[in-house]
Chain A
Amino acid sequence: MIEMQDLSFGYRGGGALLSNMTLSLPAGSFHFLTGPSGSGKTTFLRLCYADLLPSAGRLTAFGHDVSGLSRDGIAMLRRKIGVLHQDAQFLDHLPVAENIALPLTVAGQPVDMQALKDLLGWVSMSGHARAVPPALSGGERQRAALARAVIMSPDMVMADEPTGNLDWDMSMRLLQLLVELNRSGKTIMVATHDMDLIRAARQMDVQARVLRISGQRVQLAGADL
């Protein structure tokens, strides 16, 4: 699904942040990505959904070399990858339900209202459908962002520190939703520095692997969960 071959990346004016990474993320897998702050976790995810392009090497997503994709091609790639950020951003002038349906709107696809209601129920946001994003708490924003990330039924969901602003109970609720998605066949990648979250995943009986970014490279961190 995602393959990296000798991939390196460095921001303009800075040194290499990631070097010679070779990695494969198979379909249906669940990965945690860990590492200290500034190690390049967010950069790794941005490379995967083509928000950044490799400085060297090759990154293939869904069979396409991302460096050769047109701008429209990159947009199409992002429709296959749902992305969840720590600071989930929305269009603040639109109600939550419209924000969640936004990927369908911009793709020109009709919104199935029943499916939207079901999705709101799945993330426990049925009561907030008409609220505007600024009125939501941190946990509600993350769950709404997760609903938006999956409404197009993407093949992969990437979450960047999704529980960074959440209390433990809400973090567990969100992790549970990600595990449910993985069980339904989605590929999941969660970047986090919260080891408790990774340990909690053990209790949920999920086949997850832990990747650690260290010294500009990605390493498999110990045994599978």
Chain B
Amino acid sequence: MKTDLRQVDWRSLWRGLIGRDSGGTSRIVPPTGFTAQLTLLTAGAMAFLAVFALALSFATGRLADRWSQSLAQTLTIRVSAPSDEIEAQTGTVMAILKQTPGIAEARMMPVDEVEQLLTPWFGPDVPVEALPIPRLIEVTESGDDFDAEGLSLRLAAEAPGAVLDDHTRWRQPLVSAANRLRMLGIVSLALIAAAGAAMMMLAAQSSLAANGQVIRVLRLIGARDVTIAQAFVRRFTRRAAAGALGGTLLGMLGIALLPGMDQAGGFLTGLSFQGWGWLWPLLIPIVAACVGFFATRWAALRMLRAVP
């Protein structure tokens, strides 16, 4: 493998993709219609899937960032106490919040707003106003010097009915789930690349096996293994790039045609690229060409060296 890498002529990869085959070396491999179409189709399908995996990675990344940012700066204090004490404890909490550093704003939610929040849970027939509803105070942090643990301890001491909820308990699993989805997208991309490489290797080996006479003739006239391999590699690299370009464009079209993000279904409809992010999928054909180049080259040289 070390030898293979040392022998890699990086310019040949570029020439194989872009340059003209002035020597006609690639013509030594007979055109094979069915195999060619199969390779193109495989590369296209892999690229199509890769576009969606890439979009999934980006979308879940944005989701994790959004959830993390929007919830990280807020916390809620719930005050539950007997009706004759609740006003006093709420006042104490508000006073403590004013003295606490790192708090930008503390807003006590009006009772009717709290009742509106609870209505979906109890249904329209339950008289929510008759229930002992806790006071809710929405707190917005202003900076890093906020100490949630210290505030919680102070509230416990001075207002026993007050409970601090900094959203960590349910925010963390959501962010964690989003991050795992992003990782899943990246792993999917890696698996697609690996599966694509395996298919290119199989196709190259099958092509070499089917062209035994070509290889015998070429060896007889003094062709080096690397020259024979290059003829196959060039063809497969181009097929991988062309197929992947088609699959990528189709995938991008599919992503573009997805419904736009709205409030009702923010996650599923947010599976898209944004701004310069649309350039990322265009790397897929380049990566596919590189994968095709190295996979075919490795498979071809390995197979040629196995034959005396």
- Beyond A89-B213, A94-B27, A106-B28, whether A79 also contacts B305 by CB under 8 A is no
Give complex CA distance A77, B227 in Å: 16
- Beyond A71-B225, A71-B305, A75-B219, whether A105 also contacts B213 by CB under 8 A is no
Binary interface encoding of chain B residues 270-308 relative to chain A, with 1 for a CB under 8 A from any of its CBs, else 0 = 000000000000000000000000000000000001000
**Interface size range on B against A:** 20 to 34
A93 at the interface (CB under 8 A from B): yes
Give complex CA distance A83, B219 in Å: 11
Please determine whether B25 and A106 come into contact, CB atoms closer than 8 angstroms.
yes
Please determine whether A75 and B224 come into contact, CB atoms closer than 8 angstroms.
yes
Which residues in A have their C-beta under 8 angstroms from that of B218?
102, 106
Which residues in A have their C-beta under 8 angstroms from that of B221?
78-79, 83, 102-103, 106, 148, 152
Please determine whether B223 and A75 come into contact, CB atoms closer than 8 angstroms.
yes
Give complex CA distance A29, B225 in Å: 31
- Beyond A71-B305, A75-B224, A105-B23, whether A94 also contacts B219 by CB under 8 A is no
Which residues in A have their C-beta under 8 angstroms from that of B25?
105-106, 108
- Beyond A71-B305, A106-B227, whether A91 also contacts B30 by CB under 8 A is yes
Please determine whether A105 and B225 come into contact, CB atoms closer than 8 angstroms.
no
Residues 61-114 of A at the B interface (beta carbon under 8 Å): 71-72, 75-79, 83, 89-94, 98, 102-103, 105-108
Residues 1-35 of A at the B interface (beta carbon under 8 Å): none
B217 at the interface (CB under 8 A from A): yes
Binary interface encoding of chain B residues 20-42 relative to chain A, with 1 for a CB under 8 A from any of its CBs, else 0 = 00011101101100000000000
Which residues in B have their C-beta under 8 angstroms from that of A71?
224-225, 305
Please determine whether B217 and A90 come into contact, CB atoms closer than 8 angstroms.
yes
Give complex CA distance A51, B215 in Å: 13
Please determine whether B224 and A78 come into contact, CB atoms closer than 8 angstroms.
no
Which residues in A have their C-beta under 8 angstroms from that of B27?
94, 98
Give complex CA distance A35, B23 in Å: 42
- Beyond A71-B224, A71-B305, A91-B30, whether A98 also contacts B24 by CB under 8 A is yes
Which residues in B have their C-beta under 8 angstroms from that of A102?
28, 217-218, 221
Please determine whether B222 and A76 come into contact, CB atoms closer than 8 angstroms.
yes
Give complex CA distance A92, B27 in Å: 12
Residues 107-129 of A at the B interface (beta carbon under 8 Å): 107-108
Binary interface encoding of chain A residues 135-156 relative to chain B, with 1 for a CB under 8 A from any of its CBs, else 0 = 0000000000000100010000
B11 at the interface (CB under 8 A from A): no
Give complex CA distance A93, B220 in Å: 18
Give complex CA distance A77, B223 in Å: 10
- Out of A76, A78, A94, A107, name the residue touching B220 (CB < 8 Å): A78
Tell me the B residues contacting A by CB distance below 8 Å. 23-25, 27-28, 30-31, 213-214, 216-228, 305
Could you show 9 A-B contacts with beta carbons less than 8 Å apart? A49-B220, A75-B223, A78-B219, A91-B30, A91-B213, A103-B221, A103-B222, A105-B23, A106-B25
